[in-house]
Amino acid sequence: MAQVTLKGNPVQVNGQLPQAGSKAPAFSLVAGNLSDVTLKDFAGKRKVLNIFPSVDTPTCATSVRKFNAQANDIANTVVLCISADLPFAQARFCGAEGLENVQNLSTLRGTEFIENYGVAIADGPLKGLTARAVVVLDENDNVLHSELVKEIAEEPNYEAALAVLK
């Protein structure tokens, strides 16, 4: 169990975020068309997992915008924006913002992802959602970088996440 904060208040997070050098746990999440998408569907690509509570919050929306812009020029890389938002809300947000360089995935049927990636908020007002985290994987699903953001209302370290891909 890890501890982060939400606007300075302690929040418990269950599980352990995958660490650099480990193999990423398999997952199944929900795509925009309500189909199940697995880690294997991105085989051979490098992956940036941008994990956050909800795209309907300012910091989460900013992280999607920034990864959309910054990861666009990195070859053979896909940015997966993962939240508890329904695929409809994710599509509405990206459509309204004109964001085409990220792929949204929902934890709608992905509770094992939340547990296996150590991002399950266990208490407080966001209980049941995911903590803010970034996990970067190589083409073979080895973890290159991981960050559990200590303050949910703050942005992740984009530079550190993307530096391992350059």
Catalytic residue numbers read 60
Nearest to 130 by CA among 7, 15, 10: 15
Cα 38 from chain centre: 14
- The residues near 112 (Cβ < 8 Å, ≥ 6 apart) are 27, 28
Nearest to 11 by CA among 113, 127, 107: 127
Could you write out the DSSP letters of every residue in 112-150? Answer: HHHHHTT-EE-SSTTTTSBPPEEEEE-TT-BEEEEEE-S
Contact 66, 156 (CB under 8 A): no
